[in-house]
Amino acid sequence: MVLVSELREMYEDMVTARYYEERLQEEYLEGKQPAFDISAGPIPGELHLAAGQEAAAAGVCRHLRDDDTATAPHRPHHVAIAKGVDLKRMTAEIFGRENGLSSGKGGHMHLFDPDAGFACSGIIAQGCPPAVGAGLAAKKRNEDGVAVAFLGEGAISQGAFLESLNLAAVQRLPVVFVVEDNDWAISMPKGRVTDVADGSQRAAGFDMPGVRVDYDDATAVYDAAREAVGRARAGNGPTLLEVQVHRRMGHFMGDPESYRPEEDVEAAQARDSIERLAEDLRGAGLEDDDLEAIREDARERVDEAIEWAKEQPEPEPDAAHEDVFVNPPSGVTTEEPTHELAGGDD
């Protein structure tokens, strides 16, 4: 049984993420017409959108607090939104602005918001070890914080993921690994990169629970995640949770997807996890007007964030030289060390 307020929150996260990415797509493509040039336009570089994957993030993050940690991969927006990352500053970062989360240094694949307990990495599966580290810190401090590592199904063949499962298991750490299975690792369908259709079976090799949610149903994800996050928070160790999601677009904006059968794209488009959750909400007594009000509110927040981001100044070129260290080396010093070396005074 899921509280209606929880369903509402998930719906809000999902429609926010979906609309946010629709807007980003528009902005990204502006300036890339008629010929697509990746370095042109208001948002340069690669852009990986998560449309179709929102249910996993929304269902899991409902169980997380601000002091819990989530790490995401190169496709991070839906997780960031569900984890409560500052939408305006995240957007400014994606636009490469001075007031972005990372002062314009990171961009869309490298969003860091310590206040929301969120970080991501552009390197496949490399968010897993830091999530294990966040879980380790919570355990060492006798706190009940939980860390969640989000990754794609393409990442489950990567050493960093498998090593992280083992370390989290053997140390009984409060970590949940969430595999968003969108069937495709760029051009490679899951069946060609692993013989194990159910990725959660990887868990068995590490003697940890493995659960698969077979459909991108936010409510089902919510239920599965309640158990996994609860187990972690109670000190009973990690869980591997795989969620079937779908990829509505190319791997990155500009991906021609010529490798992908048209039926597969159509099937992905036909699945609508947002409408599915809307059904659950209607079942719980919400009217269409209520849902529209949530969507309208989300659109307002997103539009406002994008408008704000675009008004922010670009960073000064010289800012590129800052932030390599928090305590920058100031060059050669002739100062004597302040401590005496022990012994050796003959």
Partner 1 sequence: MAQEERRQVIDRELTMSRAMVEAIAHEMRADDEVFYMGEDVADYGGIFDSTEGLLEEFGRDRVMDVPISETAYLGAAVGAAQEGMRPVAELMFVDFFGVAMDQIYNQMAKNTYMSGGAVNVPMVLTAAVGGTYNDAAQHSQTLYGTFAHLPGMKVVVPSTAYDAKGLMHNAIQDDDPVVYLFHKRLMGIGWMPAPDGPKTPVPEEEYTIPFGSADVKREGDDATVVTLGLHVHRALEAADALAEDGIDAEVIDLRTLVPLDTETIRESVAKTGRLVVVDEDYRSYGVTGEVIASVAEDGLADLEAVERVAVPDVPLPYARPMENEVVPDSDDIESAVRSAYDA
In the complex, the residues that contact partner 1 under the rule CB under 8 A are: 35-39, 44-46, 93, 96-97, 100, 102, 104-107, 109-110, 121-126, 154-155, 157-160, 185-188, 192-194, 254, 258-259, 314-321, 324
Q: Which of 157/201 has CB closer to partner 1?
A: 157
CB 319 to partner 1: min, Å: 6
Q: Which of 2/29 has CB closer to partner 1?
A: 29
Asked if 248 contacts 17 with a C-beta cutoff of 8 angstroms, the reply is no
> In the Cβ-directed half-sphere of 297, how many Cα atoms lie within 13 Å?
12
List % helix, strand, coil for the chain (3-state, nearest 5). 45, 10, 45
CB 219 to partner 1: min, Å: 31
Q: Give the distance from CA 216 to its chain's centroid.
A: 16
Q: Which of 109/134 has CB closer to partner 1?
A: 109
CB 69 to partner 1: min, Å: 20
Q: Which of 102, 94, 97, 99 is nearest to 75 (CA)?
A: 94
Say if residue 18 is exposed, middle or buried (CB neighbours under 10 Å; 0-12, 13-18, 19+).
buried
Q: Which of 107/238 has CB closer to partner 1?
A: 107
Q: Which of 39/334 has CB closer to partner 1?
A: 39
Q: Which of 71/121 has CB closer to partner 1?
A: 121
CB 110 to partner 1: min, Å: 6
DSSP assignment, residue 136?
H
Asked if 17 contacts 300 with a C-beta cutoff of 8 angstroms, the reply is no
CB 331 to partner 1: min, Å: 13
Q: CA-CA distance, 18 to 13, in Å (whole number)? A: 9
Structure tokens at 111: 């969003």
Q: Which of 84/107 has CB closer to partner 1?
A: 107
Q: Which of 157/166 has CB closer to partner 1?
A: 157
CB 17 to partner 1: min, Å: 21
DSSP assignment, residue 126?
T
Q: CA-CA distance, 69 to 144, in Å (whole number)? A: 12
Q: Which of 264, 73, 109, 126 is nearest to 183 (CA)?
A: 264
| Alpha helix segments (H runs only) across the chain | 4-29, 54-61, 77-82, 87-94, 128-140, 159-170, 190-193, 218-233, 262-270, 273-283, 288-311
CB 210 to partner 1: min, Å: 19
Asked if 240 contacts 78 with a C-beta cutoff of 8 angstroms, the reply is no
Q: Cβ of 116: how many Cβ atoms within 10 Å?
A: 21
CB 85 to partner 1: min, Å: 17
CB 328 to partner 1: min, Å: 11
Q: Which of 146/305 has CB closer to partner 1?
A: 305
